[in-house]
Amino acid sequence: MPTVVLMDVSLSMTRPVSLEGNEDFQRKNLAVHGLNMLFEHMASNYRLEFTALMAFSSLWELLVPFTRDYNALQEALSNLDDYDKTCVESALQGVNSVVQQEWGNACPCQVVLVTDGSLGIGKGSLRHSLQTLNHRGDAKKFPLPFPFPTKLYIMCVANAEELQMSDTMNNLEELLHLSGGDGQIFTVDGALCMKSVQAMFGRLIDHAYSPFHAVLHCGNLSSDVQVFPRPEPVIIDEEVEPIPQSVNAEMDDVGAGTTEELEEEPSASQMAGKSPNFCVLLHGSLKVEGMVALVQLGAEWYGMLYSQADSKKKSNLMMSIFEPGSEPLPWLGKISHLGPISEATENPYGEDDNKSPFPLQPQVKRSYAQTVTVWIKASGLQTDVQKILRNARKLPEKTQTFYKELNRLRKAALAFGFWELLKGVADLLERECTLLPDSAHPDAAFQLSHAAQQLKLASTGDSQYAAFDHNIVPMHTDFSS
């Protein structure tokens, strides 16, 4: 989960703070000290995660693009300049641009906004941005919520009392709400000093950047691993009183009889890089064979381990967590029913691997399995209308086909509430009737007029004529003589 650090370098960050020893510090110095503490922690525990550093005042600047080099991040922090007023909206637009350019919309991202709580002045201030939220066009839309999953952490180099003297806290809480609510606002406890800022960033580390140690077991083999990012608790909405469900301290790998367990404290073998490591063996095996390992995370909660390459030379052992439940993958059935082929009465894959027991067929045929008309693109709708017109020009030979296609379009239009389509096709049929050549069969004009009239009646929405199960039947004529 990449991280974007957004550092406020406006003039308000240069306000002095009196510390012990009569040495004056700026709020910016305290913020840099806290960020250095965060980067040192990530360099030790989150070496594989990418982090970017941005600075902002009225404009934003990408100081360090996404990198794993935390020395470069700390060096950029030591060379920060001071600029003009605060403009949070501009900074958030910069985050949106940088993240989408690097990761797209699917990758979740953490944003750490470091500021002194100053909201800016006049147009461009956070107050002004929030007050004008409902009076904007699409061209000037507020950047939150981001199009990608986000956790926003706001680090205020100020204590709660200072923020509560104005409406700063209310505006920051609204900003957090607009981002989706995933995140937190951190403030300094007590007097503003080096220790209180360290404690604030320590709370952020404990909350969002604490490592998740695990022990991977397979029979008599085991290996210490770390999971990045930390697995989040899941709330099952179907429960009457939903309780967040967390990954248990013990996980059983049910694929190929392997087991995975979690412990809170890492063992000594975690630090021994030269000792044999089962995690490396498992990763290599899954990568070469192109297979996955099924892992149990808790009571009726499963996931899978697999190898994923982020470049031609580097690959990672990944874990995807399924939705809680005994049947997270409907085509697979109940995971508890899986077992080795040797225990089956007969080989479910056939003697020559010519069949497969998957996907499992549902006992009840789903309604969406029926053939239905779907118009995703304009070209699909145009094709169906053209098909009706082609058959209309071949009446009466194509009478049955004409009415079959007409009723199919009618039902779809009624299902979607697309009354205008029925009126439009009726007008087209009336036009075709006027364009019939003199040599045309007289039955064609009657059928076209009849079909157009029925479509116009259905387009009114009157239940008498717009019944979904009703079909337009050909007009009875007699031209046998």
The CATH number linked to 104 is 3.40.50.410
Of 322, 353, 386, the last residue of a domain is: 322
Does residue 345 sit in the same domain as residue 412? no
Does residue 336 sit in the same domain as residue 309? no
Phi, psi (rounded to 5 degrees) for 373: -90, 125
Instruction: Name 155's bridge partners.
Output: 114, 186
297, 248 Cβ separation under 8 angstroms: yes
Which residue in this structure is represented by tokens 């370098």?
A: 9
Give pLDDT < 50 ranges for the chain: 257-272, 481
Does residue 304 sit in the same domain as residue 331? no
Does residue 340 sit in the same domain as residue 443? no
Q: What is the pLDDT of residue 262?
A: 37
Residue 340 inside a domain? The answer is yes
Residue 262 inside a domain? The answer is no
Phi, psi (rounded to 5 degrees) for 320: -100, 135
Does residue 45 sit in the same domain as residue 145? yes
Residue 19 structural domain = 3-210
Does residue 31 sit in the same domain as residue 177? yes
Residue 177 inside a domain? The answer is yes
Does residue 87 sit in the same domain as residue 196? yes
Of 182, 210, 238, the last residue of a domain is: 210
Does residue 197 sit in the same domain as residue 284? no
Q: Report how far residue 132's alpha carbon sits from residue 142's, in angstroms, rounded to the nearest whole number.
A: 9
Phi, psi (rounded to 5 degrees) for 217: -120, 145
Does residue 14 sit in the same domain as residue 58? yes
Nearest Cα to 192, choosing from 111, 117, 121, 88?
117
Instruction: Name 316's bridge partners.
Output: 308
Residue 235 inside a domain? The answer is no
Q: What's the pTM? A: 0.65
Does residue 338 sit in the same domain as residue 389? no
Does residue 127 sit in the same domain as residue 188? yes
The number of beta carbons lying within 10 Å of the beta carbon of residue 408 is 17
Does residue 155 sit in the same domain as residue 142? yes
pLDDT, one tens digit per residue, over 200-211 is 999 999 988 888
Residue 401: helix, strand or coil by DSSP? helix
Residue 130 inside a domain? The answer is yes
Of 322, 337, 352, the last residue of a domain is: 322
The number of beta carbons lying within 10 Å of the beta carbon of residue 472 is 17
Q: What is the pLDDT of residue 272?
A: 45
Q: What is the pLDDT of residue 48?
A: 79
Q: What is the pLDDT of residue 234?
A: 81
Residue 281 inside a domain? The answer is yes
348, 337 Cβ separation under 8 angstroms: no
Residue 255 inside a domain? The answer is no
Residue 257 inside a domain? The answer is no
The count of C-alpha atoms lying within 13 angstroms of the C-alpha of 117, restricted to the half-sphere facing its C-beta, is 22
Number of domains comprising the chain = 4
The count of C-alpha atoms lying within 13 angstroms of the C-alpha of 388, restricted to the half-sphere facing its C-beta, is 26
